[in-house]
Amino acid sequence: MSRDATNLYMKRFNEDPSYDILMEVLHERELQFHKWGVQDHDEDRWMVILMEEVGECCKAIQEEDPANYREELVQVAAVAVAAIEAFDRKFKDGII
């Protein structure tokens, strides 16, 4: 992507409501990093961690707790990012 296209995209992106949500996910990811450090689990373990977070979303729904449901969704997204980070480190040479 050219620099002009990137700048145009970022201007549009910064005006998008998803920007604030993604910043929340990034913040949560930073909290996870400070708590756990670099995590290089295998794919099976990442799915267990991710499903545990999804389970917490389900629990919040059952408890009719929309604030906690939203917070858990942010955590699900941050765990997914951590799993992608680990995947990219594992396959940094593009060999899958």
Domain range annotation of the chain: 3-90
Task: Return the pLDDT at 12.
Answer: 65
57: tokens are 């979303």
Task: Return the pLDDT at 17.
Answer: 78
SS (H, E, C) 65-78: CHHHHHHHHHHHHH
12: tokens are 């549009």
pTM metric for this prediction: 0.80
What angle is formed at CA 39 by the lines to CA 41 and CA 95, rounded to 5 degrees?
A: 60
Burial grade of 49 (CB within 10 A; 0-12, 13-18, 19 or more)? middle
Residue spans of the chain under pLDDT 70? 1-2, 4-14, 93-96
Task: Return the pLDDT at 68.
Answer: 97
